[in-house]
A and B are shown apart, each in its own frame.
Chain A
């Protein structure tokens, strides 16, 4: 059974704080790691797809890093804003299959 774990489960920060969370995934047979942002009452929205060890991707104030050898990825948000409040999901794709295995997410709440 492939396990994708995210920590922390939830996070409350103040506006302007920078924050980061972790996604852990199997280090063998890696193909890709996806990050999605899921706002309440909306559908998941793709942030990044990362495929290479050492990959760093950035979109505005949000960035992500990838370490496939040790099986983890970090998502960073610089200067959090209330509109960043959402659940952040990571999903692992192994080489043998087209299945995306999602973690249970990190719920971020940014207080104004």
Chain B
């Protein structure tokens, strides 16, 4: 158990819908990272927040957005969902702003039908 929690574990929704994935980092970690793992691709970095501020951005679609709240938990919002958004979404956390190892949560499996 990494200490990072993610909810929900599974999510099934229809195209065009909007969902919110939630992540709570390890106690004391200030950075939260979001990754997408699709069937035919490796782990793709989406976005990083550090202590409430956006720190780095990857190939995150405009339909996706994220935020980190004062209690350091983070939410990833996915809207106008398409079939291709079906994937495993991981959240990870680290102590600092990006130097050390990252601790991964169990992931949220999103299925868009």
- Which residues of A are in contact with B by a Cβ distance under 8 Å? 32, 34, 36, 42-46, 49, 89, 91, 93, 97-105
A67 to chain B, nearest CB (A): 20
Residues on A with C-beta less than 8 A from B56 are: 97-99
- Assess whether A44 is in contact with B43, with CB atoms less than 8 Å apart: yes
Given A97-B56, A102-B42, A44:B90 Cβ within 8 A: yes
Residues on B with C-beta less than 8 A from A100 are: 33, 45, 102
- Assess whether B102 is in contact with A46, with CB atoms less than 8 Å apart: yes
- 5 more A-B contacts (CB under 8 A) besides A89-B42, A103-B42? A43-B4, A43-B107, A44-B43, A49-B100, A102-B44
**Interface code B14-36, partner A: CB below 8 Å = 1, 0 otherwise?**
00000000000000000001000
B2 within 8 A of A: yes
Q: How distant is the Cα of A22 from the Cα of B105 in the complex, in angstroms? A: 26
B68 within 8 A of A: no
- Assess whether A98 is in contact with B55, with CB atoms less than 8 Å apart: yes
In B1-16, the 8 Å CB interface with A consists of 2, 4
Residues on B with C-beta less than 8 A from A43 are: 2, 4, 90, 104-107
Can you list 29 A-B contacts (CB < 8 A)? A32-B99, A34-B101, A34-B102, A36-B104, A43-B2, A43-B106, A44-B90, A44-B92, A44-B104, A45-B104, A46-B102, A46-B103, A49-B101, A89-B42, A91-B43, A97-B56, A98-B48, A98-B56, A98-B97, A99-B45, A99-B56, A99-B58, A100-B45, A101-B45, A102-B42, A102-B43, A102-B45, A104-B41, A104-B42
Residues on A with C-beta less than 8 A from B103 are: 46
B98 within 8 A of A: yes
B3 to chain A, nearest CB (A): 11
Q: Which A-chain residue is minimally distant from B44 (CB atoms)?
A: A102
Q: How distant is the Cα of A26 from the Cα of B43 in the complex, in angstroms? A: 18
